[in-house]
Every structure is written in C-alpha cells, then in structure tokens.
Amino acid sequence: MPESRSHTRSEPRAFTELQLENGWRVVVLNDPVNLMSYVVMVFKKVLGFDENRARKHMLEVHEQGRSVVWTGVRETAEAYVFSLQQWHLTAVLEPDEAR
C-alpha cells in the first residue's frame, strides 16, 4: 500500500495577509474599581513596562478612558487581554485599523 504524504506548498504570503496577522491591539479601558497604583503594578507585571511607561498608560486610561498598551499578532494580543482580565482590568482586543 503506498504511503500517503501531505504536500504543503511554501508560497510567499501576501503583504495584506501579514498586515492582518500583525494588526491587533490590546486596549485597556477605564473602570471605577481599580486604583491607579494597582493598574501601574499590573502593567509592569503583565506587559513588562518600566515605571514611567506604566504610569503613562495608566494616566491615558484614567484621563482618556482608554490606552493602547500593545499591538501585534492576534495570538499574543489575545493572551495579553486574557492576562489583564485575570488581573481584573477591563481589556479588549481590537483590529489595528491604522495599518
């Protein structure tokens, strides 16, 4: 009996396909529950931000109601959203339409 093999073609991926793959952003929304110091701590732990960057994004959330804290591939963005939600922050995944 002949051995069955699956053949996969290696074709260059279209530029737009790569754009869509990398076109996701993690957005943290303001909420009335979490203290500002807590949000800074979570940004440092989950996203690896230094103190200044964490404070900058926390202030954006506080003053503007939202902050884009990360952009990139969907799988990683989903993981960050999940982690931030586990820390009780309001985080959502959005397509990055600026790309």
Q: What is the pLDDT of residue 12?
A: 53
Domain containing 78 equals: 15-95
In a domain, 8, yes or no: no
In a domain, 79, yes or no: yes
* Mean pLDDT rounded to a whole number for the chain: 86
Q: Which residue has the tokens 């959330």?
A: 61
Q: Which residue has the tokens 């990398």?
A: 22
In a domain, 80, yes or no: yes
Question: For the segment 42-78, what is each residue's pLDDT rounded down to a tens digit?
Answer: 999 999 999 999 999 999 999 999 999 999 999 999 9
- Could you tell me the strand order of the sheet in which 66-72 lies? 66-72, 24-29, 90-95
Domains held by the chain: number: 1
Cα separation, 65 vs 7, in Å, equals 50
Cα separation, 34 vs 30, in Å, equals 9
In a domain, 3, yes or no: no
Token pair listed for 41 = 């701590």
Question: For the segment 12-46, what is each residue's pLDDT rounded down to a tens digit?
Answer: 544 455 545 679 999 999 999 999 999 999 999 99
Cα separation, 67 vs 60, in Å, equals 6
In a domain, 7, yes or no: no
Could you tell me if 54 and 67 are in contact, meaning their C-beta atoms sit under 8 angstroms apart? no
